[in-house]
Amino acid sequence: MNSKLELTPLTASIGALAHGIDISSELRLDEVKEIESAMDRFAVLVFRDQLLDQDQQIRFAKNFGPLDTGLRKLRRGTHRFAYNELADISNVTAEGEVAERSHSRIVSNVANQLWHSDSSFQQVRAKYSMLSAHVVPQFGGDTEFADLRAAYDELPDWRKTKIDNLVGVHSSLHSRFLLGDTGYDEAQKTAIAPARWPLVQTDPRSGRRCLYVGHHICEIEGMTLPEGRMLAMDLIEHATQRQFVYQHKWRVGDLVMWDNTATLHRGKWYDFAERRELRRATTEEVVRSSEAARLQQELELAQ
């Protein structure tokens, strides 16, 4: 069967506009494989004019692996959606009103403006995220994506040698603490144990080497806390240079899909008094990198 997926690159290294597949419908296996192959190449795909309802978005996401609930493990109270696996990326309360600036929903919006990979703080990390736009502000609220593969390629050799065997510790609340969001009880603080990930990993599908950094890193093993955090910040600064970044300007009906193991992303500023509503479904990584698998094996042998 001939391929229906058409791809238009958006930058030299990351992102493509995807045409030709109706993702609101049940996908054939060959269509799923086409999308996965495109993700291996571009790491970010943009589907235009496909406004999915909750059922359609969950069905689409399930084509690519088991679904992740992320920080829903920490949060309590009413959820606006029928599925816990749909993250509410908005400034809207459970009652449907635009949140006050002191509301936890706004804190989440601010935290999303830090460079990160979804669920890097979990032992089973996120693979693909799929974010669907339903209401967008008149100005701002873009999302930026940084290519961690190209960023690794452009590191100087001395830096590659230094970081090749280092391990970052990722904490679910570290980025929140950076912003002064510290109002969590002990049960919430310990609900998700920190996750250990190599700073450099080889993608098991594409074979490309990637940095794996972001603002969830709270320390780097074998380094003092200040030196480790400075190294993490230096690597984030390197990876988010403009030549590695695609900036997406949202339109209602967009669905953007990205690979969390190969990219960083962040939201950009918008006026929190203006309604913005997006919904995200995220899949868990099924096959680990060789470096992460080796680290897990070492941990199991040490126990």
Is the CB of residue 27 less than 8 Å from the CB of residue 259?
A: no
Task: Tabulate helix, strand, coil % of the chain (nearest 5).
Answer: 30, 25, 45
- What's the pLDDT score for residue 267? 97
Sort strands 277-284 and 126-135 into parallel, antiparallel or unpaired.
Answer: antiparallel
Please write the tens of the pLDDT for every residue from 91-114: 999 899 999 998 888 988 999 999
- What's the pLDDT score for residue 188? 84
Is the CB of residue 16 less than 8 Å from the CB of residue 48?
A: no
Please write the tens of the pLDDT for every residue from 282-299: 999 999 999 999 999 988
Check pLDDT > 70 for residue 3. no
Whether this prediction's pTM lies above 0.75 is answered by: yes
H or E segment to which residue 62 belongs: helix 54-62
Report the C-alpha gap between 86 and 69 in whole angstroms.
7
Residue type for 185, please?
D
- What's the pLDDT score for residue 205? 94
Annotate 49-76 with b (16+ C-beta within 10 A) or e (fewer).
Answer: ebebebebbbbbbebbbebbbbbeebbe
Is the CB of residue 263 less than 8 Å from the CB of residue 148?
A: yes
